[in-house]
Amino acid sequence: MMNSARYAALALAAWGVAFTGAAEAKVQEVSERGIVLRYVAHVSVGPEETWAVLVKPSQWWDSEHTYSGDAANLTLDARPGGCFCEVLPAAAGAEGGARGGVEHMRAIYVDKGRALRLSGALGPLQADAAVATLTFQFKPDETGTQVLVEYVVGGYFRGDPAKLAPMFDGVLGEQVGRLVEKLGGSFAAAFRPETMDEGIPEAAAVPAELAGPPVPKADGKARIIGR
């Protein structure tokens, strides 16, 4: 969400400094096929309140990881086709309003209070032929909401995936941590990923003719809605 050099420098800095509350399970997969980042957390509020904060990135996204330098310029239209966008304000004293904007991601799966999936290559990946999806999934429990976040990157991107993965994790992990902190929660050491399957109707899944080969669950990992 900024020029590649600045993004990379900040990402490496984030990787090298322990972030308070960082998820224990972050980089799940790195290969020639791409990168998978996954985070699990628990917040003390219900899914509806969790959703209400999630769709207002200006309240929790770090201004350092924007093109404009101010998270107040971020908006998220949480409906199919809706934009996770950023306004680029005009320079001080300039006339004519905003000078432009950035589409960071686009909503492709919206189930209020349950799941949100966005499509888009963040940061320096936007300049490459990369494809990526960012999924948020919520599951209520007795004390609040379990949150699962997954970012999957594929396609073509310049650079070694093994080196890029921790950089992207450093930046995205920080944003997830800020969201969780905003909601008064923490990354959950006792998170039970199998519970994310409970109460999810089969109708929520992608139709079989569109889904391609089935993705098996492995090692007790949580199923991402839509797979």
pLDDT > 90 fraction of the chain, expressed in percent and rounded: 56
Please, which residues have CB within 8 angstroms of residue 94's CB and are 6 or more apart in sequence? Answer: none
Within 13 Å, how many C-alpha atoms sit on residue 180's CB side? 27
Average pLDDT for the chain: 77
Burial class, 101, CB count within 10 angstroms (exposed 0-12 / middle 13-18 / buried 19+): middle
196 phi and psi angles, rounded to 5 deg: -70, -15
Task: Compute the average pLDDT of residues 62-78.
Answer: 96
Say if residue 205's pLDDT is above 90. no
Comparison of pLDDT for 34 and 25, the residue scoring more: 34
The reported pLDDT for the residue numbered 27 is 83
Is-above-0.85 flag for pTM?
no
Measured CA angle at 221 (ends 216, 222), to 5 deg: 90
pLDDT at 121 over 90: yes
